[in-house]
Structure 1
Amino acid sequence: MPAIDLNADVGESFGQWRLGDDPALMEHLSSANIACGFHAGDPAAMARSCAAAAAAGVSVGAHPGYRDLAGFGRRFLDVDPAELRHEIIYQVGALQAMARAYGTGVRYVKPHGALYNAMAHHTGQAQAVVDAVLALDPALALLVAPGSEVMRLGLAAGLKVVGEAFADRAYNPDGTLVPRSRPGAVLHDPGAVVAQALDLAVEHRVTAVDGSRIPLTAQSLCLHGDTPGALALAAAVRKALEDAGVSINSFA
């Protein structure tokens, strides 16, 4: 039976600003990427998400990003790699403490947004993330884009590196994600999201924006918790995968 992990970005509320329904979303996930306070989230949001994940039996991952609350971590920052390493250690360490307080633990690291995209080609920042994970706990898995620079460096360092694909994002013909600044970069139609999830999980391929079919093998599928209708999308994707005989299991 084919199997895949289903993850989502959660814990992105901040103060009085609430984003998403994390406890309900957890019911459909096997892994949860919890924001660590730099691009989104705060201690209370981190605590709620850790508690919800523990209650649902969902694996917890740290979701660190650039120090960019105003831009939601979706703007590239030319951070010195040494400084970035410290900031990743700081963020993941905070979530490790919070997870421990709520009866669970951090099993993997998935950088957020612009940092995630930069690590695909920016050797300095990719190495900074790898070095931070090694310093924190070499047993932590690293969840990244297949074929990326950070995947190469992580594997070379002996880390467990897991390839990820996106059910709700459009792809370029070269296998990269369509930038969010372009129309159609985020998929909202449930039928399109379900179809892409099935293609990725069963056929190990995705249809790019130009109609070409490109191979893409991943161990984990992501849905964005801040996408409108994320809860319904997650439920539809999980049901479709299970109906197709795909088992939903965390990689961590």
Structure 2
Amino acid sequence: MASIDINCDMGESFGNWTMGNDDAVMPYITSANIAGGYHAGDPHVMRETVEYAAEHDVGIGVHPGLPDRVGFGRRKIDATPEEVRDYVVYQLGALSAFAQRHGTTVQHVKPHGAMYSMLSESPEHARAVMEGMLEVDDDLIYLATDMNIYEVAQEIEGLRAVFEGYVDLDYRPDRSLIVEQELEDRDPELVADRFVSIATEGVVEAATGEEISVPAESICIHGDNPNAVAILEEIHDRIDEHGIELTPLSEIV
């Protein structure tokens, strides 16, 4: 039986601005990547999202970003490895406090946007972040968004890492993602087909039609996708049909 984790970026609302549909999505996932307050999120949203996750027994992870709310953490910032490490530790600490308050813990780290790109392009930045998170909690899992980061994670002694795949975005043949400026409705059946393909065979069709290897143990669904709930409902139907077992990150590694 194939085992897979479903993760989702959440807690990205702040103030009067709403992003995503967290309460409707939470029942369908096993891991929540919760914004740490830099690119999005605020203390009230963090607390509320942790509450949702605890209520549905969903694993909690921090989704740290660069300090750039205006650009939603997607603009490059010149920062040293040590500075990026501090950004992650700071946001991890904030979310950990809310998790502790609700009788749970943070299980993983998944950097967001331009921070993720920085780590992918610079092994020095990636190592600094990974070593920093282990200094906070050596049980933390790193959720790796691409193979560059995953390979660095495997070199860090004592670090558990899980490779992540995507099904509601298109891949290029080199396994890089085609990220649209604005998310639009996706065909739930097509997305569910990709989910089953990655979960059972570790492959998916790229935008060119070429089959590529995506050896993922966790699959991300974007909660801000307009029809995310319909996509997740279709995926859950396929899970039953294909005997796939939803498994939290903590049981995968």
Q: Say whether the fold is shared (TM-score over 0.5).
A: yes
Match of 1:108 in 2: 108
Q: How many residues align?
A: 249
Match of 1:12 in 2: 12
Identical positions, percent = 38
The CA deviation at 1:146 is 4.5
Amino acid at match of 2:236: R
Give matches, 1:49-64, under 5 Å: 49-64=49-64
- Deviation readout 1:46-99 (Å, 9 max, x if unpaired): 001101111101110111011111111122323211111111100011000011
Match of 2:154 in 1: 155
1:119 matched to 2:119: yes
Amino acid at match of 1:31: S
Residue of structure 2 aligned with 1:224, choices 222, 225, 233: 222
Give the gaps of 5 or more residues in structure 1.
none
State TM-score, norm by structure 1.
0.93
1:59–1:95 distance in 2 versus 1, CA, 3 Å: same
Tell me the C-alpha RMSD between the 2 structures. 1.7
CA distance in 2, matches of 1:240, 1:169: 19
- Deviation readout 1:8-40 (Å, 9 max, x if unpaired): 011111011122222221110111111111111
Amino acid at match of 2:127: Q
Q: 3-state DSSP class of the match of 1:120? A: helix
- Deviation readout 1:117-137 (Å, 9 max, x if unpaired): 332232232122112212211
Structure 1 stretches of 4+ moved >6 Å: none
CA distance in 2, matches of 1:172, 1:83: 31
CA distance in 2, matches of 1:39, 1:48: 17
Match of 2:85 in 1: 85
State TM-score, norm by structure 2.
0.93
Q: 3-state DSSP class of the match of 1:242? A: helix
